Amino acid sequence: MAIKNKRGWLRIVEASTGILIVAGVLITLYAQQIEVRDLSSEIYNLQIFILDEIADNSTFRNEILSDEVDKSGLDSFVDEKLPANFNFSVKICNLSDWRECGLGADGPASGDVYAEERIISANLTKYSPKKVKLYIWER
């Protein structure tokens, strides 16, 4: 009678071990199927759209080409176009000086930063090319 009880326990342990192995394999396979969503192409398209809108707007063009730029209107325009979980920085600089268009301390401490730029070269009365650079990152 004692031998039968030991065999019963052994079968229960074997069955439990088999279930744990099968569950472990299924969980591993399921975890590999979960993909991290790549936002880079969506953000790139959004940046191109925003910069196209800025380039097509004559008010923004005139402000960018002038020597004294009031970025508050430009910042509010970009803020309206971005989803709430993104932050941004807009830089306006001369074509020759690439260092002044850097993100610097305005950016995030860590994480991905997406950058795109557009050159605004002239309007009907003034030729003073500037570069508008748009940085976007997740909050």
- Could you tell me the pTM of the whole model? 0.70
Q: If 0-12 CB within 10 Å is exposed, 13-18 middle and 19+ buried, where does residue 90 land?
A: buried
Tens digit of each residue's pLDDT (9 = 90 or more) over 33-89: 777 677 888 999 999 999 999 999 888 888 888 877 778 888 999 999 999 889 999
